[in-house]
Structure 1
Amino acid sequence: MKSTKLTTLELYSYTIGGVIGSGLFILLPIAIGLAGKGAIFAMIMGVLLAFFAQLFNFIIASMFPLKGGDYSQMAFLMPPVVSGIYGFLWLIASLTMAGYATSAISYTSSVITSVPSESKLLSIGIITLFFGISYFGTKFGGKVESAMTVILLGALLLFVIMGLPKINFSKYISEGGFFDCGFSNFAAACNMCLYAVLGCTLVPVSLSSELKRPTREAPKAMIGCSLIVLVISTLIVFVATGVLPIEQVANKDLSVVAQYIFPKGVFVAFILCGAVLALLTSLFTSVTTFRYPIMQMADEGWIPPVFKKKAKNGWPYVSMTALYLITLIPIIFNISFDTIVSLTNLVFYIIIFFAVVKCMALPKKYPEPWKCSFLHAMPIPVYYIFCSVGLIACAYMIYGSCAGQSFGFIIASFATILIVAVYVIWRLKVKAVSIEYLKSQKQKVIEEALSYKE
């Protein structure tokens, strides 16, 4: 009987394909505009910050197998009110998924003029296709994602391979320009790079229920994918800042450099296989992974039980239909929800900060699962330092969410969360969410974690 669990290739494809999206083609040029050649170091810092800012994902994944993504991790760590708010933050985040499809159409139209740049029908068609593929299961989707990700990585590697010979290395070094941007610009560039690669921990956690040994495979994928993304992204920055003068590439997408590197036919292929597939792989990863928190929240009572309904093959058709309709809203009504989503980022990372604080106590609170974790080899004092780095990264994310924002924006952020909190408290008050059930589920997770002991 064939295994329905994800292979390493499929897990890595979902993760890398999900991470390498619009950020690499849109945010990276902004980082170059801010830091010049220093964007190379900003990218390295960005990947490290992205990993440590989501450190609780890594720690919990190494100890406990959870089915509802990092929402379940937060529910394991935090009081119900906090985890409920966190879960709804993810539902709000789903409002931005349509942006991948519309941007993919825009990139396609830049090289195939017969394709309209703002076609609602094409965008809806792409989204419908990927939701349709998801019906056949995460395993089948993993094969589709693997094919797209392999082509995407091939396009990016071709960009690096053909770009490197066009760099005058001695001139690149001797001209300097690595540290001329100032601290504030460098910090801003780090933010751009951080958001460009954020997700290397989120995707493996979301797919934990699809893994044979989640407490081993998910954390290893987080490290492996972070390293792969680090190498690829750094090489791309190197080419982007070394082939042409900085002033020609700053704040302009990678197509400027690609057009200089590639012959016309290859350039078109790069846009389609690089930029377009980067967006489509991110969209498909989102379609696949967003369902797990929704299903878990329905199981726990945060949203109506109808969302638990599944087709015969296990596909949660009510949850996925709702997610599909939410994804279409920005396209059909020409509404951007970016501002609403950005309002949640500040509170999002405040919650994560305290989640990392809670992680510090896990070895003593759950000694047996800790012994089963491969992190057990880490001495406790070193573990505390490890967590402290995570706290610093979270504090940086909180600062980044506030920097440059008006006082009114910060007030609006907390007002948005207050509305969510009122609903969460109401669900608890009417006992739609059972505290006893949450406790029993937590105990089951602990028992399951011990079953993975080697």
Structure 2
Amino acid sequence: MPELTSTKELKRVLGRKELLSIAIGQTIGAGVFALTGVAIGMTGRSANIAMIIAALFTLAMTVPMIFVSGTIRLRGGFYTQLALLVHEGAAGFFIIIHIIAWCTLSMYAISFADYTLALIPGLNHTLVAFAMLTIFYLINLMGIEAAAKLQNLMAVIMAVALTIFIVYGMPNIQPNFFGEGFMTHGWRGLFSAAALMTWATGGANVVIHLGAEAKNPTKDIPFAIITGTLVIAAFYALMATVAAGVLPVEQVANKPLTLVAQEILPWPLYIFFVVGGAMFALTTTLNSCLGWIPKPILQACVDGWLPRGLGKLNKNKVPYIILTLLYIESLIPIFFKVNISTLGNMAVILNNLFFALVCYSAMNMPKVIPDLWEKSKYHVSYGSLVFFSLLGTASTVAQIGLLLGNLTKAEFIGNIAVAVFATLYSVIMLRSGKVHMEVSYEEA
């Protein structure tokens, strides 16, 4: 049998700065550059309001996550939380959803290719997306510390580029912003766009999956989530206002932001925006995803949900087999040219299935880990804990309901099939006797 490794062996090298950089980089790339045009297509110029509502949705489901991540080190992220606070079977359900949903990594490489072709027409779109995914796969094989240092640099450049877009764009917004083109599909369109954009505004919570590599997880992870979410919400609202307000809605709906950037920015700043803003935003998301997505899968290998040999680490303490399989999975949508909107809707719905469980599970801390909960800096009364847990659960369920109405028949069937498969897999593996759950949480 191949040597079995564990999340215990991962290097604890990520401080507050690195975690915040990862949180911001993950969030900005997904929201503004991949899905803002889609949100404008769903609700018109009210996309900025949709961003704010999305942030409220996100905060509602983030509070119970902060309660838990501020109490214990979760070496397997949400996987560990579900196993501890719900049931071992919930962890198995999560890991299947996690693996299938994250073929959406390709969404960031595909969007990167869109912006590259806007800058350099004539390139092969598929080849550009493939190259970008490959580069960051290789970087992450070198270890989380190397990837985090690159992330810090890209995040600073990205923030400057996005600020330039906002500063130049605000004076060019059309005076009848709240007239024609505002809330083009009514309240349902507004809230459907908000539900979709939670995929963006909720990105900061992924740092929970880096608990095994954080120096001080119970302090730094909640800080990164709260600060990252608030900073991004402000950026999103401002950028959506510019994106929808400078040109007619029909010109920018379902389109990349380069159309507006060309209209408002001088050529040198336009180039900087495309490279340092659009491209870096997408690459920071891609980079952070390749860093954290394998960690719950690694813990699942340790516990027996997946073949144990997949969890081997290289000399840089990277689960290289898992990372390689994730890379191969992400190539499939690139070469088969899957629509970005389809990927976004699939990912949001599937992830909200386990987000609902994650939020609900927080109320079980007083029963499962009473001593650690009593000592937590985030300790609140049981009534408050139940309220926020149920609020977060209701928020995620509501988002699923809103998004289901936008799915094609094939997408709807696909989501149901994945959920059923994840449930059956969990039940079968538990009954097989192959699953032996390691304790993957610690006092920190």
TM-score (structure 1 length as normaliser): 0.86
1:193 aligns with 197
TM superposition shift of 1:158? 0.6
Which region of structure 1 is more displaced relative to structure 2, 409-418 or 340-349?
340-349
Mapped to 2, the partners of 1:177 and 1:409 lie a distance apart of: 28
Q: In the TM superposition, what are the counterparts of 1:123-272 in structure 2 within 5 Å?
A: 123-167=129-173, 171=175, 182-201=186-205, 203-272=206-275
Change (3 A) 1:421 1:150: same
One-letter amino acid of the counterpart of residue 224, structure 1: T
Q: 1:413 aligns with which of 401, 412, 415?
A: 415
Superposed CA offset, 1:122-179 (max 9, x none): 43332222122113321221110111111111110110112223347xx467869766
Retained in 2: the 8 A contact 1:70–1:205?
Answer: yes
Q: 2:98 aligns with which of 59, 75, 90?
A: 90
TM superposition shift of 1:9? 2.3
Counterpart secondary structure, 1:360: helix
One-letter amino acid of the counterpart of residue 199, structure 2: Y
Superposed CA offset, 1:277-328 (max 9, x none): 2221111111111110111111101111111222233222222222232233
Superposed CA offset, 1:58-108 (max 9, x none): 232112211112222222222222210111111112322223223212311
Change (3 A) 1:268 1:409: closer
Which region of structure 1 is more displaced relative to structure 2, 51-60 or 101-110?
51-60
Change (3 A) 1:354 1:101: closer
Superposed CA offset, 1:239-277 (max 9, x none): 234434445434433222211111123212211222222
Retained in 1: the 8 A contact 2:12–2:212?
Answer: no
2:4 aligns with none
TM superposition shift of 1:113? 2.6
Change (3 A) 1:109 1:39: closer
Mapped to 2, the partners of 1:337 and 1:174 lie a distance apart of: 28
1:118 aligns with 125
1:314 aligns with 317
TM-score (structure 2 length as normaliser): 0.87
Retained in 1: the 8 A contact 2:112–2:282?
Answer: yes
Which region of structure 1 is more displaced relative to structure 2, 122-131 or 172-181?
172-181
Change (3 A) 1:275 1:365: same
Q: Unaligned 5+ residue runs, structure 2?
A: 1-10
Retained in 2: the 8 A contact 1:68–1:206?
Answer: yes
One-letter amino acid of the counterpart of residue 233, structure 1: Y
Equivalent pairs counted in the alignment come to 434
- Alignment of 1:69 with 2:77, yes or no, is yes
2:7 aligns with none
One-letter amino acid of the counterpart of residue 154, structure 1: V
Mapped to 2, the partners of 1:69 and 1:152 lie a distance apart of: 27
Q: Unaligned 5+ residue runs, structure 1?
A: none
One-letter amino acid of the counterpart of residue 228, structure 2: C
- Alignment of 1:387 with 2:389, yes or no, is yes
One-letter amino acid of the counterpart of residue 64, structure 1: I
2:32 aligns with 24
Q: 2:299 aligns with which of 296, 301, 321?
A: 296
Query: Structure 1 vs Structure 2: percent identity of aligned residues?
Result: 30
Change (3 A) 1:342 1:41: closer
Superposed CA offset, 1:29-68 (max 9, x none): 3333443443222111111212323554323211221111
Counterpart secondary structure, 2:378: helix
Retained in 2: the 8 A contact 1:148–1:281?
Answer: yes
CA RMSD between the two structures: 2.9
Mapped to 1, the partners of 2:74 and 2:351 lie a distance apart of: 20
One-letter amino acid of the counterpart of residue 182, structure 1: G
One-letter amino acid of the counterpart of residue 93, structure 2: I
One-letter amino acid of the counterpart of residue 161, structure 2: A
Counterpart secondary structure, 1:65: strand
One-letter amino acid of the counterpart of residue 261, structure 2: A
Mapped to 2, the partners of 1:334 and 1:247 lie a distance apart of: 24
TM superposition shift of 1:235? 1.3
Which is greater in Rg?
1
Retained in 2: the 8 A contact 1:84–1:302?
Answer: yes
